[in-house]
Amino acid sequence: MTARYETHGPVAVITLDNPPVNGLSLPTRRAITEGIARAEADAAVMAIVITGAGKAFSGGADIKEFTTPAATAEPNLPSVIAMVEGASKPVVAAVHSVAMGGGLELALGCHYRVAARSTQVALPEVKLGLVPGAGGTQRLPRVLGVETALNMIVSGEPVKAEVLAQLPGQKLFDEVVDSDVLAAAVALAGRVASLRPLPRVRDLPVKHPNPDGYFQFARNTVKAMARNLPAPARCVDCVEQSMKASFEAGLRYEREAIMALTFTPESRALRHAFFAERATSKIPDVPAGTPLRPIARVAVIGAGTMGGGIAMNFLNAGLPVVMLEQKQEALDRGVATIRKNYEAQVKKGKLKEDKYQQRMALLSTTLDYAELKDADIVIEAVFEEIGVKEAVFRRLDEVMKPGAILATNTSTLDVDRIAGFTKRPQDVIGTHFFSPANVMKLLEVVRGKATAKDVLATVMDLGRKIKKTCVVSGVCDGFIGNRMIEQYSRQAGFLLEEGCTPQQVDRAVEKFGFAMGPFRMGDLAGNDIGWAIRKRRYVEKPGMRYSKTADLLCEMGRYGQKTSAGWYDYAPGKRDALPSATVEQMIVEHRRTLGVSPRKISDDEIVHRLVYALVNEGAKIVEEGIALRASDIDMVYLTGYGFPLFRGGPMCYADTVGLFNVVQTMKRFAANPLDDADFWQPAPLLARLAAEGGSFS
């Protein structure tokens, strides 16, 4: 059973019981309607309470039913809510813990609502590119007012019941309690059992002193903040209907909106990302119940930008951190940077002073490896050179306690080789944080050939605790993200040789939706980093061709923002990228040495050469088993590289375009004599799926 029925004297209690969050699956919806019908037919029952078992009232739609016929099969959620609302006996919602999406809509269909003070309520459908679909856009404005309701619907963010209960005139909750919410709801049900008529949210008026002006303001705001997403604007339209139309007409308008949005590429991309994020934790040969190693103390080697950012993640999670450096000055600088970061949060009101002090109290520093011996995990964040890594791991092998996890933050180096510097390769793993490590969501967890399953499971769990999106990668040069970005960057360089300027390439890619184009990204990260990697490539892979423009740039000392000169010019202390006449002249002269006459290149060609370079390399990574699934690659690019969320990631975008079309375009690129024809041969997986009419998903 997905819902239980019992009686508390004259009050029937229907308890949703569909773990983990009491999703409103078809069996659960049936159980609710059966419970209502049973209570209606029982003369001894005077009132009804609906609540949820465990740690949720209801999290809304059951994600296992998404995109299946069961999601809309009768009784669908609007039908369930109509039955609850039309009951002849009062129905009270006992809301606790979480009431999200359809869960909140179900509560709004009840005649009365009692909430635990800490309950989180939300209508998060907009995050899936949709509008609430069971009356949320029509009922919430009636109980919270237009502005509060629209803010919740457009943002999708949860709000605590105690916050909403303090709003003047709110009618969402009849009672907000600290104690047993079910007992309070049963007591309320007893008190209102004989009261008629039954109050219905649908009968409440919707008012605003200046509706036309407000909704125009809301549309302008949404257009500026979510220009590539249609759902927020449709949310505004739906809420406006709650004022302009009858309740039933508003429901029909909402239903038409959700049906139209369901088939948009943006909603498909957002839903893909939703499921992709949940899939990242599923590792076929590491069962969910794998025992975890205890992590109570963390060590970080390196107090630079990366090491300090990594340390902050664990301090934020309440874990003590000891940070090691070779010199006291380096430690002092690192601690000062951490303090500065926290103080900025305090100043902006994002962090309370006492929390700041608590976090800093968890941080200790040392110059002595021996003082790391009690740490349960140590993460090195030292210079990206194999000799430096070797010295660190040989020392760690000597001092760390048995069972401690030894993690490397390398972004490209061989984790198996690093593990070989120790006598405990089973305890070694890659933890590739992205900069700034205290901000970026992505954590590539690199599994070596000897990495123990419990080590992998422990690090994945630890990543969730520090609020990272963890994606497992196998060992290869660059892992998932950096291996792919190298091909993207190669294409960007070839485009310069053929006729583009850096700003033209960046502008086209940013118009496509990237947070930042490849040349602005290079200036931010430091062009010298890519230069060091290319120098290694010239030795290891002499047959791989690169544009020489990036090397010429570095030879001029133009490393990016840190030198106030890169692909762009930068005014001292500012990050505004200004076109550089010096760089444009360098590119012109380089073309002359190649004997290349520049040609006009469309934005469409720019975008697809860069994005399909990601797709082709991504297909190779999936086929080689470096990534467990194509959707993992999408999560890497959505959370670590600024790929536009509304396009779902490179592999999802390729599916949207159609893999047959992707391959045909790649064939045209291969015919370009100035490009790399070998690279544009479709990866075997891509070629096979395209021929079969298949997709990465």
682: left (phi over 0), alpha (psi -120 to 50) or beta: beta
Cα distances from 635 to residues 281, 456, 469, 616, in angstroms, run: 12, 19, 8, 16
* Gap between the Cα atoms of 63 and 693, Å rounded: 27
Please indicate whether residue 125 is annotated as part of the active site.
Answer: yes
Q: One of 34, 74, 105, 254 is an active-site residue; which one?
A: 105
- Cβ burial, residue 380 (10 Å; 0-12/13-18/19+): buried
The question of whether 589 is a catalytic residue gets the answer: no
The answer for 121, left when phi > 0, alpha when psi is -120 to 50, beta otherwise, is beta
Euclidean distance between CA atoms 504 and 644, whole angstroms:
19
User: What is the full DSSP assignment across 197-240?
Assistant: SPP-GGGS----SSHHHHHHHHHHHHHHH-TT-HHHHHHHHHHH
Tokens representing 532 are 């060091």
Taken as a whole, the chain contains a residue count of 697
- Among residues 43, 3, 474, 6, the alpha carbon closest in space to that of 283 is found at 474
Helix, coil or strand: residue 428: strand
Cβ-contact 152, 140 below 8 angstroms: yes
Q: Which residues contact 131 (CB under 8 A, 6 or more apart)?
A: 125, 137, 153, 231, 234, 235, 238, 254, 257, 258, 261
C-alpha–C-alpha distance, residues 10 and 39, integer Å: 10
CB atoms within 10 A of CB 613: 26
The long-range contacts involving 590-597, CB below 8 angstroms and separated by at least 24 positions, are 590/497, 590/548, 590/549, 590/552, 591/497, 594/497, 596/497, 596/498, 596/674
For residue 525, CA distances in Å to 37, 275, 549, 562, 617 come to 63, 30, 17, 9, 22
Q: How far apart are CA 278 and CA 263, in angstroms?
A: 22
Q: What angle do CA 38, 187, 76 make, to 5 degrees?
A: 40
| Of residues 420, 422, 412, 492, the one with CA closest to residue 446 | 412
Catalytic member of 6, 40, 74, 125: 125
The C-alpha angle with vertex 534 and arms to 531 and 540, in degrees rounded to 5, equals 150
299 and 322 in contact (C-beta within 8 Å)?
yes
> Cα torsion at 313, 319, 325, 331 (round to 10°)?
80
Any idea which residues carry the catalytic annotation?
Answer: 105, 125
